[in-house]
Chains A and B, each alone.
Chain A
Amino acid sequence: MDAENAPQFEQECNDRIADGLTSLVVDAGELVYVSSMGLRCFVAVAKTLQSKGGELRICSLQGLVNQVFEITGLKRSFPVYESLESALISGQK
């Protein structure tokens, strides 16, 4: 997820939000790269969801992506889960 394709992710999320969803789960299990342009989109989407009373949940962070979320403190800013299952279960509470 780099400067080139991150806006596409943000647009996809915004489309879902326009459809009426107020919380989204991002399964990052196959995401191997994220730059600050990608992080910018994660933060923007999360803020939009937060303003609607929902949240952006992220699960299955791996390798460099996990390291990037750690360094930038985003692991503490977002609800982060070990697995997709635990992220989904959390939403049912």
Chain B
Amino acid sequence: MEFVQKGALEASLPEARASELDLLIEEIFVNVCRYSYPDSALGMVTVTYWIPAPGELKVEVADQGVEFNPLTAEPADVTLDLKHRPIGGLGIVLVQQLAASLAYRREEGWNRLTFGISARS
């Protein structure tokens, strides 16, 4: 998280966007641990960031685990009342709502999820 926060500083993202960045990274990382490398298997995760323009940050999280595209995952129904809600499933909702852009590709055995966060979003 400290690593991508350097990116937030370099891209001059405001504090509120930097907090959202922490949340996006945690959600994506926990997802990789849970779905890409199940059963406590050891696996690699790489995090890369770049600044395509001032006030814009792009982050790619890549892993070599089981193919999983969070963009096509069924998001939880956020309109359900407490009684009918499942206990989990809200991470993907947060990623889809907080990222200014989101793209996934499977490439030579790697899951590559890229999200954008903007000073203006």
A72 to B76 CA separation, bound complex (whole angstroms): 9
Interface size class of A (residues with CB under 8 A): 20 to 34
Partner of A64 from B16, B27, B79, B85 at Cβ < 8 Å: B16
CA A50 to CA B81, docked complex, whole Å: 12
The residues in A between 34 and 93 inclusive whose CB is less than 8 angstroms from any CB of B are: 35-37, 39-40, 43-44, 46-47, 50, 63-64, 68, 71-74, 76-78
Q: Is the CB of B23 within 8 A of A44?
A: no
Instruction: Give the residue among A32, A50, A71, A74 with the most B Cβ atoms within 10 A.
Output: A71
Do residues A36 and B87 form an inter-chain contact, with CB atoms below 8 A?
no
Tell me, in angstroms, the Cα distance from A37 to B90 when the chains sit together. 9
Q: Looking across the interface, which residue of chain A has its beta carbon closest to that of B83?
A: A50
Give the number of residues in B that approach A within 8 Å (Cβ atoms). 25
- The listed residue (A33, A46, A73) touching B80 by CB distance below 8 A is A73
The answer to whether A2 has its CB under 8 Å from any CB of chain B is yes
Residues of A within 8 A of B82 (CB): 43, 46-47, 50, 77-78
Does A3 interact with chain B (Cβ within 8 Å)? yes
| Inter-chain contacts of B30 with A (CB < 8 A) | 3, 35-37
Q: What residue of chain A has the Cβ atom nearest to residue B77's Cβ?
A: A73
**A76-B85 Cα distance, complex, nearest whole Å:** 12
B85 and A43 form a contact (CB under 8 A): yes
Q: How long is the Cα–Cα vector from A74 to B94 in the complex, in angstroms?
A: 12
Q: Is B60 engaged at the interface, CB distance under 8 Å to the other chain?
A: no
Q: Are B91 and A71 in contact (CB under 8 A)?
A: no
A26 to chain B, nearest CB (A): 14
User: Once bound together, how far apart are the Cα atoms of A40 and B87, in whole Å?
Assistant: 5
Asked if B20 CB lies within 8 Å of chain A CBs, one says yes
Q: Which listed residue, B26, B76, B80, touches A35 by the CB 8 Å rule?
A: B26
Known contacts A3-B26, A35-B26, A35-B30, A40 near B90 by CB under 8 Å = yes
Q: List residues of chain A with CB under 8 Å of any chain B CB.
A: 2-3, 32-33, 35-37, 39-40, 43-44, 46-47, 50, 63-64, 68, 71-74, 76-78
Task: Pull 5 A–B residue pairs with CB atoms less than 8 Å apart, ordered by A.
Answer: A3-B30, A35-B23, A46-B82, A64-B19, A68-B94
